[in-house]
Amino acid sequence: MSGTELARAYWADVVRPILERDLPDVPRAAGRLGTGSDVLGLDDYTSRDHDWGLRLTLLVPADRTGEVDELLAAALPAVYQGRPTAFPLTWDPAVRHRIEVATPDGFVRSRTGLDVGAGPTVPGWLSLTGQSVLEITAGPVFEDTAGRITALRERLAWYPHDVWLHVLAADWTRVGQELPFVGRTGQRGDDLGSRLIAARLVTALVRLGFLLERRWPPYPTWAGTLFGRLPVASAVHPHVGAALASPTWQVRDAALRAACEALHERQRAVGLPTLDGPACEDFYDRPFTGLRDGVAGTLRGAITDPQVRALSHRGGIEQWVDDVGTLTDEDLRGRLAQVLVDGRARAVGPAPVGLVRPSGGQG
């Protein structure tokens, strides 16, 4: 039984009957949302060694959360289907039931930092990570009597069109900045440097695949698995795999070029702006691949929202920050995204340690 199957049975057999008996008047939504590989439908036997078991999200009005939580603590059986209903989690060692009782808006805010009901602003959209949204939208909802969490999930289904164009352009820009250096480092005999740059580029290209298919990317553990299920994967996966495994920089360079072309073609197929002809070209007179200048520019040129048009090329928060602690802190993400939009350091106070402007040229 998968984690979501277990959660559905737990809800139907145990939790829902308790609420129907003792608090039938409370509007509610129940599902398996939040953290955990089972929310993504990817749990297996190994997943069961920690933070896996009888977990649910139960969403009720704000004035009933305490009452519902106390009822469950008193009324739940000790065991269901051979598993304890109370157990510790890695971030909370207390032995207690693991039904997260919250309000719909409060639950969404705890993952995103946003008042999604009011409609995310441009900085709000840019502060989201794919994983933060998937913790709300990926798992099954078993019941939603008020419809609130269903509406919030629909609102977070995908970026507004102009923000989508912006984040796509940001990843193409990142690819264009470093693509020629796979060959340049290799030509100088620095195979490790060439591989490091290739790996960075593969990360951006995989994210482009998710963006083109309008799918939120998960945290890195599952990015390759879910990328492999995208429609674009059959055209791109062999090339990014070859770029990571190739024994020479020449093969690596050619594989990355092929991956770029496949993604550019997919961009055309889904109806987004593209250049006429290929995405790549030779980098000046050097035997390396470069990205044509207009690949990102043609996307930016289609943006009509003045606020989005005025943004820098950096895109969303996880396109320019890869620190796990930052990406899992919804409050800090929001403050950094505001800086990204308005350019005013006073929006977050002192600059966070490590966020410094790089110096030097690109040779």
The mean pLDDT value of the chain amounts to 93
pLDDT at 120 over 80: yes
pLDDT in tens, 325-357: 999 999 999 999 998 887 643 434 443 333 332
pLDDT number for residue 350: 41
pLDDT at 310 over 50: yes
pLDDT number for residue 340: 81
Model confidence at 146, pLDDT cuts 50, 70, 90, reads very high
Dist. CA 131–CA 42, nearest whole Å: 14
pLDDT number for residue 354: 31
pLDDT number for residue 119: 87
Dist. CA 137–CA 141, nearest whole Å: 9
Rounded average pLDDT over 35-42: 96
Higher-confidence residue: 8 or 360?
Answer: 8
- What percent of the chain is modeled with pLDDT above 70? 94
Rounded average pLDDT over 171-188: 97
pLDDT in tens, 62-106: 999 999 999 999 999 999 999 999 999 999 999 999 999 999 999
pLDDT number for residue 71: 98
pLDDT number for residue 86: 96
pLDDT at 157 over 90: yes
pLDDT in tens, 234-247: 999 999 999 999 99
pLDDT number for residue 352: 37
pLDDT at 359 over 50: no
pLDDT number for residue 60: 98
**Paired sense of beta strands 83-84 and 86-89, if any:** unpaired
pLDDT in tens, 265-293: 999 999 999 999 999 999 999 999 999 99
pLDDT number for residue 356: 30
pLDDT number for residue 267: 98
**Residues facing 144 on adjacent strands:** 29
pLDDT number for residue 312: 85
